[in-house]
Chain A
Amino acid sequence: MSGTNYVSMSLSVEMQRNLDSSTHNLANSTTTGFKASRPLFQSYIPDRSGLLSLQGVAYVKNIGTYIDQSQGTLMKTGSPYDVAISGDGWFSFAQQEGPPGFSRNGNLTVSQNGNLVTVAGYPILSSDGNPVAIPQENTGLLSIGKDGVISAEDGTVLGQIGVFKVPANQRLNSIGNSLFVPGEGEDLPLQLSQDAEVLQGFIEQSNVQPILEMTRMMDIQRAYERAAKLTSGNDDLTRQAIQRLGRYT
């Protein structure tokens, strides 16, 4: 196979991956606190100065995915157990194993043992990094202030939901269940965020923009067709060359 076929193959493989990522975003267009992820591509020019046929041939190469960290729309739910962050900050959740995960999903409930947890059962961490316990007689009416302080009906302070800062250059990996964790082997100390507000009775909707994803999907499909066209065009060329050269022997 000639270099042309490999170029179109590299394009079609990456476009499939691109479609997978776009579809994942669309599937999560109603997932609370979801952050869209996008693949990054770059051209890859092999260093083969000796081979004339491959000079200047640029393959498509996927170099990674990044997370779109823009704020999703805040939707009012009215439920006292729904919290959302406005501004720069993350909720932190204890995991059974490994370091705490980060999420913008504040869809909370009280667990059987009285801790404030997500619907998937991850305990939310207070500003000092411990799970937040809610005494049973206070489960009814909680009020959560903009600083994350939880108080009972009679004004007793029960704890403070922590809103933590994740540095802009910090690598975050999605691990599902709306959680993000720092890259493997990296330590991310819990550091309180100063410019974020906690809003009770709101949840942050997914930041997926459906129109953007739909147009991306159209682009991907056309690029894929282009790659297929390139392969079949190249095939035609080879066939014609064989036929014509064959005629003169």
Chain B
Amino acid sequence: MKKLITLLTAALVMAALAVPVSAQEEARIHLIHGIPDTPVDVVAGGDVVFGDFQFGDTQDLSALAGQTLVGLQVRLAGTETVAIDAGDTALPASGNYTIVAHLNAEGVPTLAVFENDTSSIDAGEGRLIVRHTAQAPAVDVKANGAVAFADLTNPNSVQADLPVGTISAEVVPADADEPVVIGPVDLPIEDGSALIVYAVGSLDAGSVTALTESITGLGTAPTAVNTGNSPVGTSVPVWAAGLGALLLVAVVAGRRSVVEVRS
């Protein structure tokens, strides 16, 4: 039986590695380390796949899309201590995902998989996505002083498309103004980009903070450029008349020959 498991496991991994390139190109999978003060090793099949992965770091797993990570574990760096035992984990073959190693509401390390909304964003807007992945109770997220997202709990995600600009964000306990859990922090809302903000850390340990991730290229270009509603005249361009006297003198001087002919 053990031999059979070994064969099947190896077959699974090899089959997974044979995923067509086209499928991999469609996928974008990031892994974010969202547990403060806890360097880890990421282990698959009993071996360290990447080690000494630090809080706040991001690893691109896109090339592994469609594969199954056998016996996926997150261990405290340099030790055999398993922080997260995820077991065999099938990565999506396509789509846009972020996997976050984080603390659940009770403070236990776990993995959350979020599918990122990459639908197109109207011109002049950006997408703000906020995810509660901290050991903390329900929170409200304030934008420029007003509650934008209410009663967000771990491990959930809320989002909105907002006009381009900078917003000052604060995370506070649900239905309360204090104490401020995160912020205020300035967040850039950029045209055609999704900004994903993760609340991470432990409220009990005083380590709650924010991590960010962004996805660009979701924008919508203007549909047309209409720059004329009347026929072209024959005079010196009138825009010159709208400028200051000094400029006007300069323009007239520069076009003296034209002016003379017309006068």
A and B bound? Answer: no
